Amino acid sequence: MASTSVDLDSKIPNNVGLAHDTKLRRALERWLPNYLEWWNDMGPTDFADKPVYLRTAISVDNEGWANYGHVKMPDYRWGIFLNPRDPSESKIRCGDDAGREAWHEIPGEHRNALRRIIVTQADTEPASVEQQRLLGHTAPSLYDMRNLFQVNVEEGRHLWAMVYLLHKYFGRDGRDEADELLNRRSGDPDKPRILGAFNQPCDHWLSFFAFTMFTDRDGKFQLAALAESGFDPLARSTEFMLTEEAHHLFVGQTGLQRIIQRSCELYKLDPNNDIRAQGGIDFDLIQRTINYWFSYSLDLFGGEISNNAADFFGAGLKGRFRERKKYEDHVALHGNYQLPVVEDGKLIEKGIPLRNAMNAVLRDEYIADCAKAVRKWNKVLEKEGLDVRLTLPNARFHRHQGIYAGHFFNPAGELIDEAAFEAQRDQWLLVPADNDYLHSIMKPVYEPGKFANWIAAPARGIEGQAGDFEYVRL
Ligand code: BYC
């Protein structure tokens, strides 16, 4: 056991005093082999023995949080970090007790709610790794393959971050929940992952880029809301996760932008402007992919009118995006949120008490952030002289959670009937025929510096590496 403890300390970089916390160390020693077994079974297939140019966080300071070097993925050091926080900022930031000292242990009355929030967040991390496990086989370049694996190992680390909280603060229930996180499987009808988007297939690169653009971006906003939590270890854990999350969003946003760039080139190259004839990805297909992943990602915010959200906010467990910096009234007991709701077959505006609309408030911040990326993509189209433009569908379109679920809307947000929706489904959403086409063009490109025909090269390499750098040593 003693040598395992030493191994564990060198294997798990941390700033949570793991070396001196016997109970926690024992719990993690028990969990680690199960985690590695899960990684081997459900993580990226077949590339375990290939060194990948990865960044590893070994501490929270500027030098430590991004250490680059070639590492085999099973040897990646999944660390546990809490962002440093000035004690004066360690306050409950929203709700009935806003301004009071933050909790450093779990308050009994909020134990269940906090466990549920942490488990829901934790569950998404291994789920996304499972969804993406086959993508290495069709990587459009070594650069992209490396980015995929970077995202995967960091989602693994984010699972560690949440499992640390479960083991440290929730006793036996926490240990059971940590075990369950390794037992559920994305897309498995008998033991699915908790949230809808994490059970959808993500088995080609157009979906991968849309997932990291839209679904990881939900992660950004959920993590930012949890970084405002009155439970100090959760707030500081998620704050550190956000530093890594930025790269995942970069991968998604620039991945789609590089596809758009290349599609413009192929459009001009073809005598009939037929992008598919050139083996590329046409703009309608890109739009359908945006519609699909954006709408599933909106579901991750939960219902627009939510008692859970009101309770979480009121208790100080989950704030708004940049709660402390952006808002003056942290109690939010007054004021309404205007929301179009369906009544008697029509859309009418209703005022919802602000606390009950907290999921919608967070979702609006998310939509504004997505819209910025879409504007950048449209700049590419404009610069290339094409008339086509990409858009975000209305937030009511294709929803499975919240007040619009069970109703049917077109991408402009107009109420329609089910037959009209189904008749146009294959013009609005990614359908099996699209996936077949995408699978047919996605062949791996493993030569350093080369890229698949359907995507442009990135503007620059990772960490200033040259264009022909060997990001993955195959
Ligand atoms: N799918 O009151 P409601 C990330 C359930 S992503 C299935 O409307 P609430 C990442 C809900 O559980 C960020 N079920 O919603 C990205 C509830 O069930 P019960 C993940 C859903 O609770 C990429 C019922 O519907 N972070 O990090 O206010 C790669 C009514 O719920 C869904 C978090 O999720 C759904 N989409 O809000 C890797 C943060 N939505 O109680 C990582 C923690 C709702 O009736 N989670 N339901 O059985 C939360 O804050 C909240 O649980 C939610 C839901 C925002 C998810």
- Distance, in Å, from the CA atom of 319 to the CA atom of 36, rounded to the nearest integer, reads 34
Query: How far away, in angstroms, is 251 Cα from ligand 1 center?
Result: 24
Task: Strands of 335-461 (E only): list them.
Answer: 336-343, 346-353, 408-409, 415-416
Residue nearest to atom 13 of ligand 1 (CA): 219
Give the pLDDT score at 360: 98
Show pLDDT as tens, one digit a residue, over the chain (474 residues): 344 555 666 789 999 999 999 999 999 999 999 999 999 999 998 999 999 999 999 888 888 888 999 999 999 999 999 999 999 889 999 999 999 999 999 999 999 999 999 999 999 999 999 999 999 999 999 999 999 999 999 999 999 999 999 999 999 999 999 999 999 999 999 999 999 999 999 999 999 999 999 999 999 999 999 999 999 999 999 999 999 999 999 999 999 999 999 999 999 999 999 999 999 999 999 999 999 999 999 999 999 999 999 999 999 999 999 999 999 999 999 999 999 999 999 999 999 999 999 999 999 999 999 999 999 999 999 999 999 999 999 999 999 999 999 999 999 999 999 999 999 999 999 999 999 999 999 999 999 999 999 999 999 999 999 999 999 999
Q: What are phi and psi of 329, to 5 degrees?
A: -90, 105
Query: How far away, in angstroms, is 269 Cα from ligand 1 center?
Result: 45
Residue nearest to atom 23 of ligand 1 (CA): 216
- Distance, in Å, from the CA atom of 21 to the CA atom of 279, rounded to the nearest integer, reads 56
Query: How far away, in angstroms, is 53 Cα from ligand 1 center?
Result: 34
Residue nearest to atom 16 of ligand 1 (CA): 216
SS3 assignment, position 69: strand
Residue nearest to atom 39 of ligand 1 (CA): 121
Provide CB contacts within 8 A for 104, sequence distance 6+. Answer: 232, 233
Residue nearest to atom 21 of ligand 1 (CA): 195
Give the pLDDT score at 62: 82
Answer for the pair 236, 224: CB distance below 8 angstroms, yes or no.
no
* Alpha-carbon separation of residue 204 from 43, 136, 259, 435, 436 (angstroms): 16, 10, 13, 8, 10
Enter the tokens of residue 357: 């609309």
The pTM for the full model equals: 0.96
Residue nearest to atom 35 of ligand 1 (CA): 195
List pocket residues of ligand 1, CB cut-off 6 Å: 117, 120-121, 124-125, 128, 155, 195-196, 215-216, 218-219, 222, 299-303, 306, 308-309, 318, 359, 401
